[in-house]
Amino acid sequence: MKHPSISLCMIVKDEERHLARCLQSVKGIVDEMVVVDTGSVDATPQIAEQFGAKVIRVPWKGDFAYARNAGIDAAQGEWILILDADEEVDLADGPKLKACAEHMDIDGFLFQIHNHVGDKAQQGITINTVIRMFRNLPPYRYEGRIHEQIATSMYRHKPNCRLHIMDVAIHHYGYQPSIVTEKNKIRRNVELLLETLAEHPNNPFHLYNLGVEYLRMGQQPKALDAFRKARSFVVSPQEGYVHLLYKYEVSALRSLGQLQEALRLCEQAIRTFPDYTDLHHLKGVCHLAAGERTEAKAAFAMAMQLGKPPASYHTEDGMGTYQTSFMLGTVHEATGDYDEAIHCYVRTLQHGSGLNPPLYRLFRLFRVIGTPERTIELLRERIHMNSPEAEIKVARMLLELGCVRAAEAVIGGMDRSSYESVIMLMEAESRLMGGDPIAARELLTRLGSESELAPEASFHREDLCFYAGLLAGEASSGEDGRSRSGNDGRVTAHRLVRRWDRFKEEGHNSGTIHRIVKKDMYYVLSGLVSCDKTEDASQFVDACLQVTGPSPERANGLMLGDGLAYALVAWADSHLEKVDLKSGTKELVSTSRLALPSLEGFPGERGWGR
């Protein structure tokens, strides 16, 4: 029995890096490949021909619909499948395309476009539903110079045309920063949109898309203006992009610090789209930015109750699931609801043990509430470290958070044959943070004579030697065998400031010095508290703030408060109670615990080297 045929139609230009991946994803699925080339100067046409594609060369006229329709005009299949070169059909979903083609009573299918918006997998995915497969009928043609649409012509020809949403994933990589920069897509899109708006100045869809491009450029005031104009011309809120128009306008207001207006607009949008989870999540983010934690909890809880939004909405991966539960956990943590915070983070982890943010938060939270054994239990039950690299990653994360016992448990179980020097370096760090700077210095001395270290590890060893010497010298001084007091904290603070000045004089940039400041504050404060030198720790905090002042130009204009926050957020509450912190510093710790780590999982670069 003959199956209905599918023609893949594409438009391309200089896509030799991506095209083969795209074509491979539908090889054996489609019956025909039609590739419209608008002026490639690389090997794109040859790659297409290697896959058996029919290559049609069409001069670029600044009109995407024109180029799309040129390919459709040449297609012979009963169905048209639309893909771009920077896309690929999910490996598991290819066979579903053939199943779709059997339904000749359907006019078109909407598939899930997974837009990968970061160069790293963990940096996020947005998901939107788009018509990508439709019947090859003469009236069905694209319209629009940019952000071309097929639905308009389909409904014009057949007002009761049938569209069906299918669970087919198409991965789109064109929004990754490296590709956007390479292709200069944003400037091209803005130019085409401005040309189109010159002809149709009141078109809300084009105004909305212009606002999106401005938002991607970081030009929030222009984006906000475009969104407001677009909303004023919207005829029906049921048009497919209007829910996104509200979401992006709220985002623009939030980024401009206009939080109350953002919340008012968010409420208005929720009345129109009450089941759009992203709006409730965004409402929580706005309340959190405004310091309204109770309201933020309620908004995130509502997003969790709604769960993943209906497929008709453009969403971000994790809305109503792991991203929302993670944010809800941070609010519970900041307000001292530690059990609820742990529950939220564990629920986040259920989406994958490789997610850094909930791991980081859980490790740090167990440290804060003084239950390190729960960290080890979590490692055994939920974290699958199936390679030495994974073990090193987890051990470093634990050390960064001051979870010394858990870090030692991971390090102790590692195979030393391949990573001896790295393991020794981490062992020295754990000794230092555990309050034994003399043992740490002995390990570092052995490491220096026995191992050839990579440059970044060598830098880290040098820093650890500095901290070990600083702390060991203090711990061993005094005729009565006790640690020195009095000016110890102030002396240590002055030594660190001189160190930062030296790095500045050597020409290191502000970002590098920033990392050094944070790292210095962290290791020295952790060492002082681990040695139970709480009086020195208090003096050290006060002295650092006095030495550098509220705007420490000596540290290259960096706020020392950031380094102080970085050092203090990982301390256990029991340790903080021992240190006589001033009220302003206590508030800094509370606020920083909410803000750090970031959604990417870490409060900043670890700075293993300089």
* pLDDT tens for each residue of 1-35: 688 999 999 999 999 999 999 999 999 999 999 99
In tens, the pLDDT along 81-101 reads 999 999 999 999 999 999 999
Give yes or no for residue 169 having a pLDDT over 50. Answer: yes
The Cα 501–Cα 494 span in angstroms is 11
What is the DSSP annotation of 342-387?
HHHHHHHHTT-TT-HHHHHHHHHHHHHTT-HHHHHHHHHHH----S
pLDDT at 236 over 60: yes
Distance CA 316, CA 280 (A): 13
Residue 512: name the closest of 523, 524, 525, 499 by CA: 499
Q: Which two tokens stand for residue 551?
A: 């705007």
- Give the lowest-confidence range in 190-194, 284-288, 508-512, 543-547: 543-547
480 versus 34: which is more confidently predicted? 34
* CA 499/CA 524 separation, integer angstroms: 13
Q: 373 is written with which tokens?
A: 């054994």
φ, ψ for residue 116, nearest 5 deg: -85, 110
Spell out a b/e string for 402-434, using b for 16 or more CB atoms within 10 Å of the CB, else e.
bbbebbbbbbeebeeeebebbbbbbbbbbbbbb
Looking at residue 564, what is its pLDDT?
67
Cα–Cα distance, 422 to 392 (Å, whole number): 8
The residues, any chain, with a CB within 8 Å of residue 370's CB and separated by 6 or more, are 572, 573, 574
The whole-angstrom separation of Cα 201 and Cα 195 is 10
What's the sign of the alpha-carbon dihedral 588, 590, 596, 599?
negative
Instruction: Determine the pLDDT at residue 587.
Output: 63
Longest dimension (CA), the chain: 97
CA angle 304, 121, 95 (to 5 degrees): 85
Confidence of residue 48 (pLDDT cuts 50, 70, 90): very high
Residue 553 pLDDT? 43
Which tokens belong to 405? 């016992």
Amino acid letter, residue 589: V
Number of neighbouring beta carbons within 10 Å of residue 139: 9
CA gap 160, 574 in Å, rounded: 68
Task: Please determine, for residue 209, whether its predicted confidence score (pLDDT) is greater than 50.
Answer: yes
Give the integer Cα–Cα distance in Å for 440 and 526.
14
Rounded Cα distance, 292 and 304, in Å: 18
| Per-residue CA distances from 351 to 326, 332, 358, 385 (Å) | 11, 20, 10, 16
What whole-number distance in Å separates Cα of residue 494 and Cα of residue 492? Answer: 5
Name 38's Cβ contacts closer than 8 Å, sequence gap at least 6: 11, 12, 13, 57, 58, 59, 60, 67
The secondary structure of residue 77, as a DSSP letter, is S
Contact assessment for residue 78 and residue 140, using Cβ atoms and an 8 Å cutoff: no
pLDDT of residue 94: 93
| Distance separating alpha carbons of residues 269 and 271, to the nearest angstrom | 5
Write out the two tokens for 298.
């309620």
pLDDT digits (tens, 9 = 90+) for 97-141: 999 999 999 999 999 999 987 655 445 788 999 999 999 999 999
Please state, in angstroms and rounded to a whole number, the distance separating the CA atoms of residues 504 and 432: 26
At residue 311, the 3 state secondary structure works out as coil
Higher pLDDT, residue 586 or 517 = 517
Number of Cβ within a 10 Å radius of residue 250: 27
**Mean pLDDT on 433-462:** 77
Closest by Cα among 494, 531, 519, 533 to 570: 519
- Amino acid at position 175, single letter: Y
pLDDT at position 286 over 90:
yes
Residues in Cβ contact with 485 at an 8 Å cutoff, skipping those fewer than 6 apart: 535, 536
Instruction: Say if residue 139 is preceded by a cis peptide, omega within 30 of 0.
Output: no
Q: Is 363 left (phi over 0), alpha (psi -120 to 50) or beta?
A: alpha
Q: What are phi and psi of 311, to 5 degrees?
A: -65, -15
- Residue range 249-277: average pLDDT? 97
Mean confidence (pLDDT) of the chain: 83
